[in-house]
Amino acid sequence: MGRTRRKLIKPSRTEQLRDRAVFCKRLADGAGDRRFAEKLQGLIDEYERGAAHAASLEETSGAPQGFGDAPTIGLEHCTADEFR
């Protein structure tokens, strides 16, 4: 029941950005292409900055921030072609 219940709870913006950073790190580690890994490192840095900013907002307000309250990173419209 614990796993199902966790899936039903919407993760905070901080958790989502940290999860994206971890995903990009894993992808960069296994990429095998230095140029691609360097581009992913830029994304990792952006996601981590966004997560740190969202976490600081959570600390000051005392409540998790939703999508509208956290800074947007501007990566939502990236395509795979940008990494080639």
Q: How confident is the model at residue 60 (pLDDT cuts 50, 70, 90)?
A: confident
Q: Give Cα separations from 61 to 35, 67, 69 (angstroms).
A: 40, 15, 11
Residue 21 pLDDT exceeds 80: yes
Q: Which residues contact 6 (CB under 8 A, 6 or more apart)?
A: none
Do 61 and 14 meet the contact criterion of CB atoms below 8 Å apart?
A: no
CA distance 35 to 83: 9
Q: How confident is the model at residue 81 (pLDDT cuts 50, 70, 90)?
A: low
Quickly count: other Cβ atoms within 10 Å of residue 75's Cβ: 14
CA distance 5 to 7: 5
Mean pLDDT of 61-82: 55
User: What percentage of the chain exceeds 70 in pLDDT?
Assistant: 63
Residue 67 pLDDT exceeds 60: no
